[in-house]
A and B are shown apart, each in its own frame.
Chain A
């Protein structure tokens, strides 16, 4: 992910940046000339132009810099916008199939802040590059006008300072990266220590919490000392190099005045030009450090870009041919991003109006089966079908009209209640939204909303319990009007009694829709027509469920065993 393509708007930034640098060099050189020339007591009138120039430069410098800053910030904002969209494009095909299961949000938030680091690093690097190079060019030009040799010395000195700052920044980069990684690790250690605290206190072992914190403190102090050493060395070496460059200019200049090749006044002009250049170079270590951070973030974004999407989505949608209400896996085989097999030839079928439970220990492939049906992961062998049509021939929109998904931890967006629901069907009216909420048992909850359907939820909004979130997720899924519901551990975060009740209500709300419900709890069987038990990516057992009045009619519609492979 390269922060390029910022040509539009760059020219004015370079122009104003160069102007501000020119004013900076001009201000110092003309003041230097003014003072040294004045000491020779010329007629005051002969200083008039210099006096005017000093004043003009002093005002022009601030103004030019102001315009430059605005330009750079606009560029960096535009870059940030582009990077965000690009991250969005990169991330969409990756979730939830290719990265993370349920913790995707946390993972991506790191990338989101990464885009900010890249944009900020870009702004700082651009400003510095313009300012430093313009000062070097102009300072060298002024010096060369006075004496070509001094021009060469100043140019050489300035380039040496840039080289030293760059080399030390490069040398410090791994130190910086290690320190950042360690810091993240230590932050996790703090989180773990704090989370375990109540249990440890109950066991009378709060000393373990204190110990853990003390260890973090010591390791953090060591890590930040190493980082400070690297950063401090870079700054100090840059100061030494800049000092050396000034000494070289002064030394060469003094030799030239001794040889009467240069007047004392002109020497002062050259030295002040050198000071103006070095003044800009002093910012280099900070700029390189920001650039390092931006590069690291940008490398991580590139890694993400390099990830293979879990599925290829077709251009044309063939979902129109799908019949109502069925979902099948036929000998489905799927693999994790690393290549490890997850589903190893799973066949199962949910007939129209049927309810099937998918049970099994964690890691047995339950969630992957659901993801295969939603075409979040591709089947390497076999097929996943909705309404009899292969899901790999459907677009996202097509799949969404057939299957409603309620993940284990559904996301409630920081938006209004209505906004959260209309995600599923933008045309849904207020009464339809309320009806959907009522259907999932959120009727009383929605009556109590302080702002009705406009009440804000999610981060910064009304807090919701896990049960309420799950129900909202289902209301959303129902609103889209799908004929198959895929419920992934809908009650995993609820206690048993609440879970039972919520599940019953969810299933009641599902009505005559076909349902595939994933659970780790065998007790689910009383709610369904049949139970498919997965183990190690294979169907271990298919047994009839205890759903009253249904089991007999529907017995036998479940494909037996792993027949597909």
Chain B
């Protein structure tokens, strides 16, 4: 997907993004509806022009004064049609934009969920990816969560910016061709010679446009890039403002900013002169076409070769011919941000396993899923076999290699791990080494470019992932809260749990008083807009979820982080009981957790190696 990695290619080449239209089948219909409405407005303009022309012609000496009322009414009809169409058009545009954004958003999320949060993009592997890591195929400068490279942000604010393009720009691009044609037809009926002149002018526009475009486009693009660069620099400066202030460097920075501003406005006049040339061509052709039509019409009227009402009507509609084109070009400029977001979303959607499985079924190891993208979520779930139970079957990584885009060495290189039934393995190692990726692999969020994840000897890719995940209890490194009640947040792990069970689980998690201490007990709203919770409380809620969900395989990422030593001991004791005959892989560095392990492994040079002797010995008993 080179498209998504080079920022320059994130913009579509032409004004109409075909991939977007392919992804949104309903878009054609809504654009067609908006175009129809737009043509109705054009008809309104024509009706108004004809009516007005007859009214004016009727006022000339010697003209028949009859039918004035009729033309007045017709003029009014034209105005009302345009007014009604303006309202309907606006509503259609909003509905179509809102629908398109929703569809694209849900496709993006589905695709991203299917896509492996591989390597450093795995849950919190670099310590920054809070919650979830599936980012863009590692773009340079992919920042922290909330940054522009983050999928969640792309799905949220990013796609919102698409509405101008979908709602207005696309229909107006079609109208830029359709409306002049319709007006030409109408003018042709009234006065074919004027229609011919108009047609020549309309046909000249693309010629002039191409000529001007060839010289101005590079400059206009350059200017756009400059403005964007400056915007980014300024955002960066503001983000780092506390640091600048602490180093006493704000005055320097201010001076530099003032200088950049000055330089930009100095250079801008020259650039603007060129950049606005295409607007000049459009404006000039528009007004010259009026002159080109008016003068011959006048001369032909003198020699009696044209009728006054027709001539007036033609003159009134003449300026309208270029209007849709002018609108479309302005809207296209407004759409840049949204189009860039759409291009990135489409790159992710296009690379999703869903679209691969349609053609080739299960991607094979080392096959087309180059960057370690997986056959995940629900694709083809029905055709896959039910997984064996980890209480009876070994869970293995067999020589898996996981690559991280933008990193030379693979994150995991032919790494192997065998979790025998009932075994508790603790995974230790410095951050960024791939620990969370191991958990992602076992959950089926990621799949290796080489090797396989096997359960009881069966490749995970051939198993039904939903059933597989039903056998697992997962505690992510950065747990999340739903915008829901405390009880619902806990029942996420076990929808059938009664209040007594919830309370017991909280007690096991070392927070027996958590519920009572919350304003509304079980009904207390948490998450976005709800009661804020501390890191320690969040960890306890996440642990309570684990206790509510007795399963065959536990995948726990730093389960006792944010806990003090006493709570940790209490939680580990409960966990020991809960684990029973289940298998577990626990990422942790706490000596207390290490003591509960049957063995410890670590990642060294991309391989999983046994760390038991030194680490278990080092953990004070």
Produce 1/0 per residue, A454-469, CB < 8 A to B.
Answer: 0000111111011100
Which of B55, B89, B152, B262 is in CB contact (< 8 Å) with A191? B152
Contact A497 B283 (CB under 8 A): no
Query: Quick check: is B225 within 8 A (CB to CB) of the other chain?
Result: no
Interface range for A = 35 or more
* A95 sits at the interface (CB 8 A): yes
Which residue, B75, B112, B160, B238, has most C-beta atoms of chain A within 10 A?
A: B238
Take A42-B302, A232-B87 as given contacts and tell me if A414 and B248 are in contact as well, using a CB distance cutoff of 8 Å. Answer: no
The A492-542 residues at the B interface (CB cut-off 8 A) are 493-498, 501, 522
Interface 0/1 of B85-99, CB less than 8 Å to A: 011111101110111
Q: Give CA–CA (A498, B315) in the complex, Å.
A: 78
- Complex: how many Å from CA A416 to CA B320? 52
Partner of B105, one of A213, A221, A227, A236: A213
The interface residues of chain B lying within 8 Å CB-to-CB of A399 are: 246, 248
Give A227 to B315 CA distance when docked, in angstroms: 36
Are the CB atoms of B106 and A240 closer together than 8 Å?
no
**0 or 1 for each of B506-548: is its CB under 8 Å from A? (1 = yes):** 0000000000000000000001100000111000000001000
| A183-B160 in contact given A89-B254, A95-B241, A236-B84 (Cβ < 8 Å) | yes
A144: interface (CB < 8 Å): no
Q: Give, as a whole number of angstroms, the nearest-CB distance from B167 to chain A.
A: 9
Interface string of A201-223 (1 = CB under 8 A from B): 11111101110010011001100
| Contact status A414-B236, CB under 8 Å | yes
Write the chain A residue with the least CB distance to B227: A77
Judge whether A405 is part of the interface by a CB distance below 8 angstroms.
Answer: yes
CB <8 Å contact, A201 and B469: yes
- List of B residues within 8 angstroms of A271 by Cβ: 52, 56
Q: Which residues of B contact A91 (CB under 8 A)?
A: 238, 241
A103-115 vs B, Cβ < 8 Å mask (1 yes, 0 no):
0111011011000
Hey, which chain A residues are within 8 Å of B474, CB to CB?
Answer: 199, 202-203
From A64-72, A152-160, A432-440, the one touching the partner chain is A64-72
Interface size class of B (residues with CB under 8 A): 35 or more
Q: Does A19 contact B (CB under 8 A)?
A: no
B369 proximal to A (CB < 8 A): no
A29-73 with Cβ < 8 A to chain B: 31-32, 34-42, 44, 47, 50-51, 54-55, 57-59, 61-63, 65-66, 69-70, 73
Known contacts A54-B295, A264-B56; decide if A463 and B239 are in contact (CB<8 Å).
no
**Interface segment, A243-251, A321-329, A343-351?**
A243-251
Q: Are B90 and A192 in contact (CB under 8 A)?
A: no
Q: How far is the CA of A327 from the CA of B497 in the complex (A)?
A: 54
- What residues of chain B lie closer than 8 Å to A196, measured between beta carbons? 131-132, 480-482
Query: Are A69 and B279 closer than 8 Å at their CB atoms?
Result: yes
Give the docked Cα–Cα distance between A548 and B160 (Å): 57
Most chain B CB within 10 A, of A220, A254, A459, is at A459
Q: How far is the CA of A78 from the CA of B311 in the complex (A)?
A: 46
B108-142: contact bitstring with A at CB < 8 Å (1 yes, 0 no)? 01001100010010010011101110000010111
Write out the residue numbers on chain A whose beta carbons fall within 8 Å of the beta carbon of B90: 228-229, 231-232, 235
| Contact between chains at B140 and A190 (CB < 8 Å) | no
Contact A27 B98 (CB under 8 A): no
8 Å CB contact of A232 from B91, B247, B315, B536: B91
9-residue interface stretch from B269-277, B410-418, B572-580: B269-277
- Separation in Å of the A3 CB from the closest CB of chain B? 15
A188–B250 touching, CB < 8 Å: no
Q: How far is the CB of B474 from chain A (nearest CB, A)?
A: 4
B311 touches A39 (CB 8 A): yes
Q: Is A253 an interface position by the 8 A CB rule?
A: yes
Measured between beta carbons, the chain A residues less than 8 angstroms from B486 are none
* Candidate in B80, B102, B248, B482 with the most chain A CB atoms within 10 angstroms: B248
B10 CB to closest chain A CB, in angstroms?
A: 13
- B294: which A residues are within 8 A, CB to CB? 31, 34-35, 54
A198–B123 touching, CB < 8 Å: yes
Whether a CB of chain A sits under 8 angstroms from the CB of B316 is: yes
Point out the residues of chain B lying under 8 angstroms from A405, CB to CB: 246
Q: With a CB–CB cut-off of 8 A, which chain A residues contact B445?
A: 198, 201
Asked whether B232 lies within 8 Å of A414 as measured between CB atoms, the reply is yes
Report, nearest first, the 9 A-B pairs whose CB atoms are least far apart: A243-B79, A105-B239, A81-B261, A232-B90, A62-B284, A228-B94, A411-B240, A187-B156, A397-B248
In the complex, given contacts A58-B288, A196-B131, what are 13 additional A-B residue pairs having Cβ atoms less than 8 angstroms apart? A35-B301, A35-B311, A85-B257, A85-B261, A188-B528, A200-B492, A203-B474, A224-B98, A236-B87, A250-B52, A376-B242, A396-B248, A461-B141
